[in-house]
Amino acid sequence: MTFERPPRRIVSLVPSLSEALAVTVPDRLVAVTDWCTHPPGMGLPRVRGTKNPDRAAIEALLPDLVVANQEENRRIDVERLRASGVPVWVTRIESLDDALRSMRRLFVDVLAVGEPDWLTAAAAAWRRPAPEPVIRVVVPIWRDPWMVVGSRTFTGDLLSRLGFSNVFGAHPDRYPRVELADLRSAGADVVLLPDEPYEFTRDDGPEAFPGSTSVLVSGRNLTWYGPSLASARTDLIEQVRGGPASG
């Protein structure tokens, strides 16, 4: 994609990207999805959800860039927006390095604002070696049916950098369906229960794993690749390992 000048009117269809844009170039962000929750209090127009964006509303905003993600958004919506003349920047994030590289391209090469401080801080934080000992984990992301983090995912890469071994990290699927009995017998030291996409809570999730250590964690820390990356490593290590992130 080429631009005669840096985009000034941006619609974000991805919560992570919405936060990154709102923190870095707030004057350029003109609309976000219903699922874009950070930073709190964004007084921007909403264009429905990530899987059912209101394309007519987006086009009416006359954006010079829409940002999307291969996993979060549907190909048909991207293709139809492009067919109507709207430039759509699609990120593909399967690792931390993908995320850092993609964010640098967006802010430095496309938006021409330089590397944000939060991105520099995130890169520095995640360069630190993984703590020891290795902890075996499973990470459910849905229930009824139960689904977990599998292979080739951003979250899986973060887990390895946190010193966690994903029990289903070698599964051929990125987000496999797994029977609860198989989850219980998988041999995990800890079951990590994020609050998104399924909102696990103290009363909804831990009871499925009696006798196991379950830890409720922020889905934003575990799955978002915006400004939360700057503090996510420390927060997750302290929360799961129960001590300061000295690794």
Domain spans in the chain, listed from the N-terminal domain onward: 1-92, 130-241
Report pLDDT digits (tens) over 88-119.
999 999 999 999 999 999 999 999 999 999 99
Tokens of 77: 């919506």
Write the CATH number of the domain with boundaries 1-92: 3.40.50.1980
Q: Average pLDDT, whole number, for the chain?
A: 94
- Alpha carbon of 160 to those of 97, 163, 238: distances in Å? 13, 5, 16
Q: How confident is the model at residue 247 (pLDDT cuts 50, 70, 90)?
A: very low
**pTM for the structure as a whole:** 0.90
CB under 8 Å to 194, separation ≥6 — which residues?
139, 141, 200, 216, 217, 218, 219, 222, 223
Report pLDDT digits (tens) over 126-150.
999 999 999 999 999 999 999 999 9
- Position 104 scores a pLDDT of 96
What percentage of the chain carries pLDDT values higher than 90?
95
Report d(CA 179, CA 138) in Å as an integer.
13
Report pLDDT digits (tens) over 197-233.
999 999 999 999 999 999 999 999 999 999 999 999 9
204-213: long-range contacts at Cβ-Cβ below 8 A with a sequence spacing of 24 or more?
205/140, 205/143, 208/143, 208/180, 208/183, 208/184, 209/183, 209/184, 212/184, 212/188, 213/189
Q: How confident is the model at residue 242 (pLDDT cuts 50, 70, 90)?
A: confident
CB neighbours (10 Å) of residue 116? 22
Query: 1-92 with 130-241: one CATH topology?
Result: yes
- Residue (of 234, 197, 196, 242) closest to 215 by Cα position: 242
> In the beta sheet, which residues pair with residue 31?
11
Average of per-residue pLDDT across 174-197: 95
Report pLDDT digits (tens) over 158-175.
999 999 999 999 999 999
Average of per-residue pLDDT across 11-36: 97
Write the CATH number of the domain with boundaries 130-241: 3.40.50.1980
- Position 43 scores a pLDDT of 92
- Position 1 scores a pLDDT of 73
Q: How confident is the model at residue 244 (pLDDT cuts 50, 70, 90)?
A: very low
- Position 144 scores a pLDDT of 94
Q: Is 216 exposed, middle or buried (0-12, 13-18, 19+ CB in 10 A)?
A: middle
The residue to which tokens 């391209």 are assigned: 105
What percentage of the chain carries pLDDT values higher than 70?
98
